[in-house]
Amino acid sequence: MKTLFFGAGPLGTVYAHLLHEAGGDVTMLARGERHDWIKENGLVLQNELTGEKGSSRVNLVDGLKPDDEYDLVIVLIRRNKLAPVFEILAASPGVKNLLFMGNNTLGFDAYLKHLPVEKVLFGFPGAGGGIRGQVVHYADREKPKGKRRAVTIGEIDGLSKERTLAVKSLFESAGVPVDLTTDIDGWLKYHVALVSPLAGALYKHNCDNYQAAKDKETLCALVKAAKEGGCVLRALGYTKRQPFEFNLFYWLPEFMSRMAVKGLLKSKFAEVAFAMHAKAARDEMGELAREFKELIEKTSVDTPNIDVLRSFIV
């Protein structure tokens, strides 16, 4: 499967590298200083959980031409940076399938205004990280000897199609687990319901996840905010809480949820996948917070803790 990664940020780099190392036909689209650095040095990465360092030289381009042909384009670009990308992709009939992997609060209308519904599917990466001096520092598992976190993929209509299974096989060929969901819209909304207050908690502590883990007030607000977000989504008809772990905010006593969140925030994974990303992507986090507020305003659910943590974002 001839694959283009549109976006040379941390996660585009991670997955392009892994697929390339597994023998995939991979091309990376990068621009400006990032393009020039990769052209000279290749992709350079460090797994902060395992200590493993990696490098590879994938095919590199600085643009997508109308006559370029790819079986799959994987778009790993922040939600608030997508508008010009839509126009480029719409003018590229040689692209057969488009996988958008990233945060999405408000659904797919903005995508489908520009792109044919039969071309697009959606997902979310399991890894996280950032770039320092053009080197990608990332975490793709929660413990050094643990399994890689899965990529989540789903079709708008919830069906598993031939191309869905082909994309799943592509990632799995590189040792990346894949979870297929029948409700990718709901999955992405529930993800934002947790990520947005988590970002607020991190900004409250200057993106120091270890300090956030020590603050009981922050932990309480975060747990309650996640539950409020779930109530908003249920009120809007999203009754299947996902990913599955989200249900713990409802099933466990609050103090147990608080301890679970504290343990996560104290981890190296949180430092790399959450805090590093939050520090670099405040503009995206601000947009997600504003978009989730739009969802809240469609309901009568009170969200005092979401409101408090949002104040640290916007």
Predicted confidence (pLDDT) per residue in 179-208, tens digit? 999 999 999 999 999 999 999 999 999 999
Residue 96 and residue 55 share a domain: yes
Q: Find the mean pLDDT for residues 265-276.
A: 96
The domain boundary residue, chosen from 127, 150, 181: 181
Residue 216 and residue 158 share a domain: no
DSSP H helix total and E strand total for the chain:
14, 12
Q: Find the mean pLDDT for residues 253-265.
A: 93
Residue 140 and residue 196 share a domain: no
Mean pLDDT, the chain, as a whole number?
96
Q: CATH number, domain at 76?
A: 3.40.50.720
How would residue 243 be classed by pLDDT, with cut points 50, 70 and 90? confident
How would residue 252 be classed by pLDDT, with cut points 50, 70 and 90? confident
How many structural domains are present in the chain?
A: 2
Please check the confidence at residue 246 and state whether its pLDDT lies above 90: no
Q: What pLDDT, in 10s, does the model give residues 135-187? A: 999 999 999 999 999 999 999 999 999 999 999 999 999 999 999 999 999 99
Residue 96 and residue 48 share a domain: yes
Measure the CA–CA gap between 2 and 28, rounded to whole angstroms. 11
Q: What is the pTM of this model?
A: 0.96
Residue 213 and residue 106 share a domain: no
The domain boundary residue, chosen from 145, 162, 181: 181
Residue 215 and residue 132 share a domain: no
Q: What percent of the chain has pLDDT over 90?
A: 94
Measure the CA–CA gap between 214 and 292, rounded to whole angstroms. 27
How would residue 241 be classed by pLDDT, with cut points 50, 70 and 90? confident
Q: Which domain holds residue 247?
A: 186-310
Distance of alpha carbon 91 from the chain centroid: 25
- What pLDDT score does 245 carry? 78
- What pLDDT score does 251 carry? 85
Compute CA distances 3 → 35, 43, 52, 170, 308, whole Å.
18, 16, 25, 10, 42
- What pLDDT score does 270 carry? 97
The domain boundary residue, chosen from 181, 204, 219: 181
Please check the confidence at residue 74 and state whether its pLDDT lies above 90: yes
The residue that leads in pLDDT, 230 or 251, is 230
